[in-house]
Structure 1
Amino acid sequence: MSERELIVDNLKACWASCNELYGSLEGDQWDVQSHCPDWTTHGVLAHQVSVEQALSGWLPESVETPPPFGDVAGYVTAAMAMSGPELAALAAEVWAGRVAELEALDDEVFARGSITPVGPGTYSRFMAIREFDHWMHERDCRTPLGMPTGNGGPAAEMALNEVHLSIGYIAGKRVGLPDGATMRFDITGAVERDVYVQVDGRAREVDHVENPDVTLHCDSMAFMDLACGRIDPEGPIAAGLVTWSGDAEIGAHAARNLRFTM
C-alpha cells in the first residue's frame, strides 16, 4: 500500500467513525464539554467540518500556494448556527465529498510541495496531519461522553506519528532533558512503540540507547492526551497509566510536561 493509499484509508476510517459518533448524539449530548477547553461536542464538530469545507476543491501548486484557511471562520459561524443533527448531516456530506476528491488524486499530487500547519512540507504530510486532527477530536468528544474508543490500528498509528515526529522538541524543550542525557519513551497499550532520545547539543531521536538515564512508561492513549494537552497529567499518573524509571526527578517532570500542542 502506498503512502497516499494509507492516508486516504485512515481518513476514511476516521470520518466513518466520526459519522457513527455524531449521528448517534441526542439532546444535551451536543452541549457536553469536550477535552478542548473552548469547545463543546457541537463546537468540535463545527471545527472539524469547517476545515474540510475550506479544503474542498483546493490543491497546492507548491509551497507558495497557501491553503484557504481564511474561509474557515465563515464556515464555523454557519456551522455553529445549525442544530446538532443538521451539523452531523452536513459533516457526513462534506466528508463524503472529501473522500471522493482524495481517492481521485494520484501519487504526484500527494508528493507536491505544500504549506502545512507545521510549516513547509507536502500535501501528503498535510493530509496526515488532518488525519491526526480528526482522530484526536473524535476522542476529545467520546471520552467526556462516556463512549468507548478503539485506540489501536492503522489510524491510531498514523495519529501517533505526528507526536513521534516532534519527540526531539518534546524531550528537549518541554521536558528539558539536560545535555548529555538520554531518554526512552516506552509506549504500550493499543499502540506499542519504543522511542529513544539523546541530547548532544540538541535533543534528537536515535535508533537505540542501551541504558537510558530515564524511561517514561506510557499507555498510548494517555501519551496522546498528554502530548496534545488534553488532560491533567495527575489523572493518568494516579491511575498508573504513566510511570517512570531511572532518574526519578526527570521522570516525574517529564510525565507532567509532555504537552506540545493543543
Structure 2
Amino acid sequence: MTVHPSLQNYADAWTHSIEAIAALVGPLAEGDWNRRTPCPGWSVRDVVSHVIGMECEMLGDPRPIHTLPRDLYHVKDEFSRYMEMQVDVRRHHTSPEMTAELEYTIIRRNRQLRNENRAPDAVVRAPLGKEQTLEVAMQMRAFDVWVHEQDLRAALDEPGDLDSPGAQVARDTLLAALPKVVAKKAGAPRNSAVVFDVHGPVEFMRTVRVDAEGRGTVDGAPSLGPAVTLALDWETYVRLACGRVRAAAVADRIKVDGDQDLADAILREFAVTR
C-alpha cells in the first residue's frame, strides 16, 4: 500500500526537498561541509546531520547515546539539547560518511513511505518523548526539510526551490502560527486586524483578526481598516519566521503601513521556529 491520499502532498514535498539536499551536498569538497549556515550554530554538516537524525527517528531507530559538550552557545534549553544530540554525534564524520548515510536514510524512508498504511490520525513518537499524529509528523518533516534545504542553499550560494512543494507546506505551516504571534506574543489590541501582504515566488495576503476576547484567527479576506499592514517578499518572510535573521537586518525589505509600534512588536516576535 502507499501513503494515505491526504498525506501524499507531504510525502511529495519531503521527497522533493530531501532529494534536493542530496544533490546539493553530494559534490561538496570536505571543507565545504564546515561552511556556516543561517541556522544558528550549525554548519552544512550539522544541518545534514540533523536531517539524517530526524529521519532516523521517523524510522524508529534508537537515539544515540552521547554526551554533549558544555560550550555549545546555541544550545539553551531541553528542546535544543534534544535536537543537538543527533548533530553533535556526527560532527567528526567525513564527507563520504555523511553522503553515504544520507543516501541510505533516504532509501529507507522512501521504502517506509511506499509501505505506509497507517491512518493520518495514527499516533507516532515526537521529540522529547512526546506523541503526535502521523499527519502532523509528516507535515513537520516536509516543512523542516524544506527550511533546511534553504539553509544549505544560502550557505552554498545555490538559490532555488522557493516555490517548490515544500514551500507550499511551509507557507501553510507558518500561517497557522500567525494568530499566536500577533494576538498573544505581540499583544495586538482587541477588535483589531493585521494584514500580511507577501509577494515573490509564493504570494498571499492574509489578515489576522483579534476578537473582543483577544483571540486571533487568520483568513484570506481583506481588512478595510487594519491596525497595520506588513508587506514583504516571501524569502524575507521565511527567514524572519524561521529565526534566520532579525527584522533590523532586513528593514529595507519590509514596508510598514499603520501602527509602527505594533509592527515592531510583531516583527520582534515573528520567529516561530529555529
Output aligned runs, 1:113-192, within 5 Å. 113-114=123-124, 116=126, 121-192=132-203
Q: Quote how far apart the aligned CAs of 1:19 are.
A: 0.5
Which of 33, 38, 42 aligns to 2:41? It is 38
Which residue type is aligned with residue 214 of structure 2? R
1:53 paired residue number: 56
Q: 1:102 to 1:206 in 2, by over 3 A?
A: same
Amino acid at match of 2:229: T
Question: Residue 26 of structure 2: SS of its match in structure 1?
Answer: helix
Counterpart residue type for residue 106 of structure 2: W
Give the 3-state SS of the residue equivalent to 2:17 in structure 1: helix
Contact 1:116 1:125 in 2 (8 A): no
TM-score by length of 2: 0.82
Shift of 1:249: 2.9
Q: List per-residue Cα deviations over 1:32-77 (Å, max 9, x = no partner).
A: 111122211111111110111122147xxxxxxxxx6677776545
Q: Which residue of 1 aligns with 2:75?
A: none
Uncovered stretches (5+) of structure 2, i.e. residues with no partner: 66-82
Q: Which has the higher contact order (CA 8 A, sep 6+)?
A: 2
Most deviating of 205-214 and 150-159: 205-214
Q: Percent identity?
A: 25
Residue type of the partner of 1:88? T
Q: Which of residues 239, 249, 253 is equivalent to 2:261?
A: 249
- Unaligned runs of 5+ residues in structure 1 are 59-67
Name the SS for the 1:218 alignment partner: strand
Secondary structure at the aligned position of 2:208 is classed as: strand
RMSD, aligned α-carbons = 2.4
Q: TM-score, normalised by structure 1?
A: 0.85
Is contact 2:10–2:138 with CA below 8 Å preserved after alignment? Answer: yes
How many residues of Structure 1 are paired with residues of Structure 2 in the alignment?
Answer: 250
Deviation at 1:186, TM superposition (A): 1.1
Does 1:215 pair with 2:218?
A: no
Give 2:207's match in structure 1, choosing from 180, 196, 214: 196
**8 Å contact kept, 1:8–1:99:** no
1:99 aligns with 2:102: no
Whether 2:36 is the aligned partner of 1:24: answer no
Give 1:61-100 correspondences, 5 Å limit.
75-100=86-111
C-alpha deviation, 1:248, in angstroms: 2.9
Any idea what SS the aligned residue of 1:186 has? strand
Map 1:214-233 → 2, pairs under 5 A = 214-233=228-247
User: What per-residue deviation string (whole Å, max 9, x for no partner) do you get for residues 162-216 of structure 1?
Assistant: 1111111111233321222211111221111222111122232243233322111
- Cα pair distance change 1:249/1:77, threshold 3 Å: closer
One-letter amino acid of the counterpart of residue 6, structure 1: N
Contact 1:152-1:190 at 8 Å conserved across structures: yes
